[in-house]
């Protein structure tokens, strides 16, 4: 008989060690190793009697029919997925607890009136799910089957007996296989459960959504080890105190990963935001200093956003720098450039920068907007309300070229803005209707154009 060898698995990254260790040599996390017995569930691969099934097929002979997709009717969701749910695909929906993952899945299920959706809940009771559905004003929900269970063997049994068109597992961290020693949510349970569901999705051709929780650091803990197994990784994110939610594809075997979907959480569920620019600018007050409108690109869509800055003299000790929605290090860099090239004295001031609406942007094209808002607040001179500013700022104070300029200009023009400040090199050959394009090459000139 083979000797049973236990192994130790890092619960953070899945690193396997023969001995217990305090600090993971792979991800440097402390106290993450858990003893795991080898899985007794490995299926032995007996050669099948149907030999033809095992023969490889020439690539040429494989039929290239378009992947059938199930449209959910939630446009923002379909777009992120690349045009709907591909049958037989395994999709991981990650996000912080309470962000709205279960709500999203329930709304999706309610939309798909003609498909049987099997909703497996391991976190909430069937009654809680029912209450949520009622809150979402579900009148007819005959297509949704609920099953409150965490034992995967029982779940598989139920799936085998029915013919669901879509399966939702809420959440993968609560599922377990009874044969495995480790607790639900551990790396080996999550991995084993996913492998099983993956096989099921592929053999039955039914799409399966796995809900997964994310830790503070923004990585899908536990489920991170299954990212490579699933076809699509969706991330649902948002700031706790704002109602906006952004859905992103971090990985997508059936579409691009550039698209985002924007939603707003209401009393009765998530509502699609089809015109994000208008929504994000709706609370803007013209005539206040420290506010600039920028044109950012999210996926393939331009979105106009308001960058706010507040610069005040430091009352005691160290000046504070605080950001919401933009990178802190980027702010430090821009402050240094403003000090050096524009001559602003910011060393004795607190600086707060915020993207209105709780949106996060990480593209450098918003640099100019941030710099302008800071300068505007320091001098207490408002930026012209009809102007949009885009451009990356280099360390030398030069305004650098950015991508997709036409889309940004178009969006600004569409929303009735009169002027747009763009990097000099972007202005060449740029066609613009009903909007004045002002090219700038240096940060000093941009400040002049915007704050005069
Ligand atoms: P939920 O979908 O349970 O989050 P997750 O599954 O990601 O943990 O959503 C929980 C939050 O959403 C909760 O704080 C209540 C809020 N919510 C609304 O604001 N409106 C609604 O219609 C629903 C169903 C939830
Ligand atoms: Mg939930």
Rounded CA separation 260/33 (Å) = 36
State yes or no: pLDDT of 200 exceeds 70: yes
If pLDDT is split at 50, 70 and 90, which confidence band does 41 have? low
Residue ID of nearest Cα to ligand 1 atom 1? 100
| Residue 327 CB neighbours (<10 A) | 16
C-alpha 118 chain-centroid distance: 25
> 111 or 66, which is more confident?
111
How far apart are alpha carbons 8 and 32 in whole angstroms?
9
DSSP H or E run through 405: helix 405-414
pLDDT tens for each residue of 296-314: 988 778 899 999 999 999 9
Average pLDDT over residues 414-418: 90
Ligand 1 contacts CB of residue 131 (under 6 A): no
3-state helix, strand, coil in the chain (%, to 5): 30, 25, 45
Distance CA 181, CA 196 (A): 17
Average pLDDT, the chain: 87
Beta bridge partner(s), residue 235:
94, 248
Q: Which atom of ligand 1 is nearest to the CA of 96?
A: 7
pLDDT value of position 2:
55
C-alpha 272 to ligand 1 mean position (Å) = 15
Tokens of 320: 């504070």
Paired with 296 in beta bridges are 303
Residue nearest to atom 23 of ligand 1 (CA): 269
The two tokens of residue 327 are: 């990178």
Smallest CA separation from ligand 1 atom 15, residue:
98
The pTM for the full model equals 0.76
**In terms of Cα–Cα distance, which of 200, 212, 295 is closest to 250?**
212
Ligand 1 nearest atom to the CA of residue 99, by list position: 7
Cα(171) to ligand 2 centroid in Å equals 7
| Degrees to nearest 5, angle at CA 130 with 126 and 132 | 120
Task: Identify the band that residue 448 occupies on the pLDDT scale cut at 50, 70 and 90.
Answer: confident
Whether 97 is in the pocket of ligand 1, judged by its Cβ within 6 Å, is: yes
> pLDDT for 432-443, tens place per residue?
888 999 999 999
Other CB atoms within 10 Å distance of the CB of residue 437 = 17
Residues around ion ligand 2, judged by CB within 5 A, are: 102
Residue with tokens 């096989």: 199
Q: Is 100 in the pocket of ligand 1 (CB under 6 A)?
A: yes
Residue whose entry in the numeric block shows the structure tokens 């020693």:
181
Residue 222 — pLDDT band, cuts 50, 70, 90? low
- Which pair of structure tokens corresponds to residue 289? 């200093």
Are 227 and 91 a contacting pair, CB within 8 Å? no
Q: How far apart are CA 104 and CA 106, in angstroms?
A: 6
Q: Is a pLDDT exceeding 90 seen at residue 422?
A: yes
Residue owning the nearest CA to atom 9 of ligand 1: 100
Rounded distance between C-alpha atoms, residue 137 and residue 131, angstroms: 10
Look up tokens 């299926």; give the residue: 43
The answer to whether 257 and 231 are in contact (CB under 8 A) is: no
Between residues 138 and 363, the one the model is more confident about: 363
**DSSP assignment, residue 398?**
B
Distance in Å, CA 99 to ligand 1 centroid: 6
Strand-pair partners of 167: 118, 208
C-beta of 265 in contact with ligand 1 (< 6 A): yes
Q: What is the pLDDT of residues 148-162, one digit of tens each?
A: 999 999 999 999 998
Q: How far apart are CA 440 and CA 438, in angstroms?
A: 7
- Report CA Rg, the chain: 26
- Per the listing, tokens 């083979």 go with 2
Cβ–ligand 1 distance for 102 under 6 Å, the answer yes
Q: What is the dihedral of CA 323, 326, 328, 333, to 10 degrees?
A: -120
Contacts with 38 (C-beta within 8 Å, 6 or more apart), sequence order: 4, 5, 6, 7
Residue 353 β-bridge partners: 309, 323
Ramachandran quadrant class, 360 (left: phi over 0; alpha: psi -120 to 50; beta: rest):
beta
Atom of ligand 1 at shortest range from CA of 132: 24
Structure tokens given for 240:
């706790």
Phi, psi dihedrals of residue 232, rounded to the nearest 5° = -140, 135
Check whether 217 has a pLDDT greater than 70: no
């Amino acid at each position: 008989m083979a000797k049973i060898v236990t192994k130790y698995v890092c619960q953070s990254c899945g690193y396997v060690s023969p001995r217990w260790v305090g600090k993971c040599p792979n991800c440097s996390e402390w106290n993450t190793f858990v003893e795991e017995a080898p899985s007794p569930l490995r299926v032995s691969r007996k050669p099948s009697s149907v030999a033809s099934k095992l023969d490889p097929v020439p690539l040429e002979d494989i039929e290239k029919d378009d992947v059938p997709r199930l449209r959910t009717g939630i446009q923002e969701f379909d777009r992120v997925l690349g045009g709907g749910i591909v049958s037989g695909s395994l999709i991981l929906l990650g996000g912080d607890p309470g962000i709205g993952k279960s709500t999203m899945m329930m709304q999706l299920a309610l939309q798909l009136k003609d498909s049987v959706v099997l909703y497996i809940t391991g976190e909430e009771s069937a009654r809680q799910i029912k209450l949520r559905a009622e809150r979402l004003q579900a009148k007819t929900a005959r297509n949704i089957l609920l099953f409150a269970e965490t034992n995967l063997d029982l779940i598989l049994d139920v799936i085998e007996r029915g013919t669901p068109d879509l399966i939702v597992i809420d959440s993968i961290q609560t599922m377990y296989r009874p044969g495995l020693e480790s607790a639900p949510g551990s790396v080996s349970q999550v991995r084993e459960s996913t492998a099983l569901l993956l096989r099921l999705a592929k053999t039955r051709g039914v799409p399966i959504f796995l809900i997964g929780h994310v830790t503070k650091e923004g990585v899908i803990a536990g489920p991170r080890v299954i990212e490579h197994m699933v076809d699509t990784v969706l991330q649902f994110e948002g700031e706790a105190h704002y109602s906006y939610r952004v859905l992103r594809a971090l990985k997508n075997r059936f579409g691009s990963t550039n698209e985002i979907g924007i939603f707003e959480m209401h009393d009765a569920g998530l509502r699609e935001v089809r015109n994000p620019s208008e929504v994000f600018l709706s609370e803007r007050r013209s005539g206040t200093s420290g506010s600039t409108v920028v044109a950012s690109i999210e996926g393939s869509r331009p979105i106009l956003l308001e960058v706010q800055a507040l610069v005040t003299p430091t009352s005691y000790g160290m000046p504070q720098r605080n950001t919401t929605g933009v990178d802190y290090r980027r702010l430090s860099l821009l402050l240094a450039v403003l000090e050096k090239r524009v001559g602003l004295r910011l060393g004795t001031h607190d600086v707060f920068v915020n993207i209105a609406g709780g949106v996060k942007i990480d593209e450098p094209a918003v640099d100019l907007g941030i710099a302008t808002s800071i300068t505007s607040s320091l001098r207490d001179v408002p930026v012209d309300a009809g102007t949009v500013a885009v451009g990356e700022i280099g360390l030398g104070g030069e305004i650098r070229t950015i991508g997709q300029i036409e889309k940004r200009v178009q969006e600004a023009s569409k929303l009735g803005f009169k002027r747009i400040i763009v990097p000099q090199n972007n202005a060449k050959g740029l066609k613009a209707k009903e909007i004045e394009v002002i090219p700038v090459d240096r940060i000093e000139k941009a400040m002049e154009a915007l704050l005069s």
